[in-house]
Amino acid sequence: MTLILFNKPYGVLSQFTDRGTPEARATLSDHIDRPGVYPAGRLDRDSEGLLLLTDDGRLQARIADPRFKLAKTYWVQVEGGPDDVALDRLRQGVTLKDGATRPAEVERIPPPPLWPRDPPIRVRAAIPDHWLRLTIREGRNRQVRRMTAAVGLPTLRLVRCRIGDWSLGDLAPGTWREA
Q: Are residues 122 and 159 in the same domain?
A: yes
pLDDT digits (tens, 9 = 90+) for 79-118: 999 999 999 999 999 999 999 999 999 999 999 999 999 8
Q: Are residues 114 and 158 in the same domain?
A: yes
Q: Are residues 98 and 125 in the same domain?
A: yes
> Residue 74: what residue type?
Y
CB 73 within 8 A of CB 133: yes
Q: Are residues 53 and 93 in the same domain?
A: no
| Measured CA angle at 48 (ends 42, 53), to 5 deg | 40
- Which residues are tagged catalytic? 44
Q: Are residues 138 and 89 in the same domain?
A: yes
Task: Tell how far CA 75 is from the center of its chain.
Answer: 8
CATH number at residue 99: 3.30.70.1560
Q: Under 8 Å CB-to-CB from 66, ≥6 apart: which residues? A: 137, 138, 139
Structural element, H or E, at residue 161: strand 155-163
Percent of the chain with pLDDT over 70: 99
Q: Are residues 91 and 105 in the same domain?
A: yes
Tell me the residue range of the domain where 108 lies. Answer: 71-163
- pTM for this prediction: 0.94
CB 135 within 8 A of CB 105: yes
Q: State how many domains the chain has.
A: 2
Q: Are residues 25 and 82 in the same domain?
A: no
